[in-house]
Every structure is written in C-alpha cells, then in structure tokens.
Amino acid sequence: MNNVDPVKTLQAKFPDALRAVDEKSASRVYVSIDPAKVTDVARFLFEDLGARFIISTCVETRAGMEILHHFSFDSMGVIISLRAVVPMPEPRIDSIAPIIDGAEYIEREIMDLFGVEFVGHPNPVRFLLADDWPEGVYPYRKEYEDKYPYRTEEELEEVRDKVRKRGTK
C-alpha cells in the first residue's frame, strides 16, 4: 500500500468514527476515534492497509481512561496511534485481540494494571499480578496511591509473616 496517505484513507473510510486528527509531525499521527468503532478501524488498518501492530498503551487522564493502539507503516515510516477515551470508573472497550493475535498479551496486562475490561478478549485471565492479589485493585490507577500508600516496614513484615505461617506447600 505504498503512496497511500493512511490518515486521508482513514478519514474517507470512517468519517463518523474519527473525532480528531492530531499530527505531531509528518511521521507521528494521533487519531482520536469513537471507542465503539475501535475494532472496525483497527481491522481496516491491520488487514486492508497492512499496518504493523506495535503495542497498546493506556493512561488515565481527566477525561477518562485513554487506550492507544499504535500501528506502524514501516515502508513510509509513519506511526499512527488510535486514541480511544472511555469513561471511568468502569472503563470498557472492545478487544482487538480477535483480529490481531499480538494484542492479546498487552490487553491482558492493561486489564491487570488499569482494570480496563476488553470485551470479546479470547483469554481474559490474570497475567502479571500475583495469584493472591485482591480483585478490583488496580495498581496503575491514580486512585491506587491514595487508597494504598507505600507499605511501611511493619506492614511489609506482616505480609511476609503471613506467607511464612501459611507454609510453602
């Protein structure tokens, strides 16, 4: 798909789904999209335009939970980031893992750390956090440090003691 401007193609194909295009530079474009259309846009970029899926990222902003899927057009040197903002406190977005296998792990990671629910994810189980980590506690959310401040040495010792007493069988 050389000589095709991916941003213009997207704008022509999805006039309703695209909310804003933010060109940081010629090679770095952020496209804000309607969260409900994320699978359609990702499928078009990945399957029809042949973009390479780099990674997904997530950040909590005042507007809500911001989920970014980054795609690269290697032959052109252009990186397009799909930016979808979903409302807190229960962020929910369609999973792109059924379309792009490579997104499966990073979506599980975001699920663990930010508590974003990816609807339609093929294997939505815990990935990084410990097995006995409490449900509903998401360490990368802004609220985390207020609710759970740094553990003091005594509190840490309590955690260690609990495991020692439980034994290691």
Binding mask 86-125 for another protein (x = CB under 8 A): ----------------------------------------
Residue 127 is encoded by which pair of tokens? Answer: 């990935």
- Closest distance between another protein and the C-beta of residue 59, in Å? 17
Q: Which stretch binds another protein (CB under 8 A): 15-23, 45-53, 93-101, 153-161?
A: 153-161
User: Closest approach of Cβ 54 to another protein, in Å?
Assistant: 21
Q: Compute how many residues bind another protein; rule: CB under 8 A.
A: 18
Provide the residue count of the chain.
169
The strand ranges marked E within 37-159 are: 52-61, 64-73, 78-86, 92-94, 117-119
Q: Which residue from 146, 90, 139 is spatially nearest to 113, judged by alpha carbons?
A: 139
Q: Strand, helix or coil at 120?
A: coil
Token pair recorded at residue 113: 């750390």
Among 147, 150, 154, 165, binds another protein (CB under 8 A): 150
- Stretch of residues binding another protein (CB under 8 A), selected from 7-15, 39-47, 54-62, 145-153: 145-153
Q: Is 154 in the site for another protein (CB under 8 A)?
A: no
DSSP H helices in 14-75: 38-43
